[in-house]
Structure 1
């Protein structure tokens, strides 16, 4: 079974306004509401690709209830912990001449709530996949990802971590199956600017030296790189298409990689599936569907370069 953890889920309220102007009443031309959060995005894309999974995390209040309902409508199994104080956040994205985001804070997660999460994680079995994705709310320990991996280190799990800075670096000692920084995040860790795929490969290998097994690095319009634990390296240019919505593209890449790996047991196929799934989400108003991913896979075979 695949499990995802989202500590601070949201209702993403995306509004379009022609020529937004501060200080006056603006009328929307379009409105969309999605369940949001990096782990939740991974769960929804995995479901779209035909992989059952369970979304874990924390929900609160009427917004939490709506997130749960939306996930169930999309066929995602949601097993969240209900938090008593506060409400799950609403994130507002304003699309106009410029894009603007306002992100909410989220509920007050207590020690008792964290204990309940550990109880759920204790039920995971050898062979399961666990995805830890996104930021940690201020009300929780900043070491949360590391604490979870230490807690689970005696289980034979494949743990995927999509996080930044210390959240990511601190888990490397527990040998995550996959990490997925982008090139800017990778550079930030080492205090350098990374622009070329050659630089990505160099610093991805340094992440392996610190403990990561597989390092998947997204580079937006410049493609992606995978440095795998078996020594193979795969590169790709970005598939061609019109970017409609970049939110969730990185999470979709993670979901696609997992799906490709489970289908084929091949890092090469997992990489190709990840790249095309991330792009399919970027080219769509909503998250990637299986049909969209297959279409990109079929039309972009020449983009992928690999070396063993």
Structure 2
């Protein structure tokens, strides 16, 4: 079973408007409300691809109920720890420029954290756990060290979709996959990347630090998968970007689902790129037909 862990999920309130004028009343053209959070996005795309999975983490209040109901309606098993305060609401303003206003998230007690640890401690070598996104401020991202260690002790594989120091801290646990983008890779090593060769060089350093596979997403410039055996470049696919928010999560879902099923890194990369690209070209997370259409456009070359 694939599990996704979202410690600080959200309702994503999408607002569409031509232009935001500060200090004035702005009337939106349209809006949508989606269950959100990086791990939950991974769960949604996994389910779209036909992979059963369980979403866990912390939820609370009427917003938490909305989130849980949405996952169940989508056919995703929800096994969350319920907390005292409301799950946060994140506002995504899609105007002439994209703007996000993200809530802080609820307070998590030691008892509630222990409940999640109990759930994760029951996993086995047949399971893969995707950890994604930031933790609530009451926990801090260092909590991932405890949770990932617990999952590895149970024998399960882990996928870690983090940034910066949180990503670096996770590498000692030999994650199946990490997926920084090129800008995050630059920030980690304090360098400027001049091309694909540079990207591969520093991605290989991530491998030597513990990761089993590294995907570097480069937005409109394609994506690079580096494994212990080889490097594979997925060429960019042309289209109009509508939704950059969930593209990375979709890529993680596509890669993880296929790799868990087949252990084929090239096919996993192709499905990851297809999912990420299709979502980038969609208003919300991509639908299956569009993902399949995009998959047939993915071109991968070995470097």
TM exceeding 0.5: yes
Distance of 1:98 and 1:288 partners within structure 2: 21
Runs of 4+ off more than 6 Å: none
Distance of 1:204 and 1:17 partners within structure 2: 39
CA contact (8 A) 2:122 2:154 kept: no
- Match of residue 247 from structure 1: 245
Distance of 2:66 and 2:151 partners within structure 1: 31
Give yes or no for the alignment of 1:191 onto 2:190: yes
CA contact (8 A) 2:134 2:141 kept: no
Report deviation, 1:263.
Answer: 3.8
- Match of residue 102 from structure 1: 101
- Match of residue 63 from structure 2: 63
CA contact (8 A) 1:60 1:87 kept: yes
1:121-155 alpha-carbon deviations (Å, 9 max, x no partner): 01211121100001122110431222222223333
**2:277 is paired with a residue of what secondary structure?**
helix
Superposition pairs of residues 42-57 of structure 1, within 5 angstroms: 42-57=42-57
**1:152 is paired with a residue of what secondary structure?**
helix
**1:288 is paired with a residue of what secondary structure?**
coil
Superposition pairs of residues 139-154 of structure 1, within 5 angstroms: 139-154=138-153
1:19-67 alpha-carbon deviations (Å, 9 max, x no partner): 3212222211100110110000000000000000000000011111111
- Match of residue 168 from structure 2: 169
1:69-93 alpha-carbon deviations (Å, 9 max, x no partner): 1111211111111001x21111111
Distance 1:306-1:268 versus aligned 2 partners, 3 A rule:
same
Distance of 2:225 and 2:133 partners within structure 1: 20
**TM-score (ref. length: structure 1):** 0.95
Give the unaligned 5+ runs of structure 2. Answer: none
Distance of 1:104 and 1:81 partners within structure 2: 19
1:228-274 alpha-carbon deviations (Å, 9 max, x no partner): 13x12110121121111111100000000012223432111101111
Q: Which moved more, 1:169-178 or 1:94-103?
A: 94-103
RMSD in angstroms over aligned alpha carbons?
1.3
- Match of residue 115 from structure 1: 114
Match 1:257 to one of 255, 263, 277: 255
**2:55 is paired with a residue of what secondary structure?**
strand
Superposition pairs of residues 1-308 of structure 1, within 5 angstroms: 1-84=1-84, 86-229=85-228, 231-300=229-298, 303-307=299-303
1:184-219 alpha-carbon deviations (Å, 9 max, x no partner): 111111111224211111011101111111111111
CA contact (8 A) 2:120 2:150 kept: no
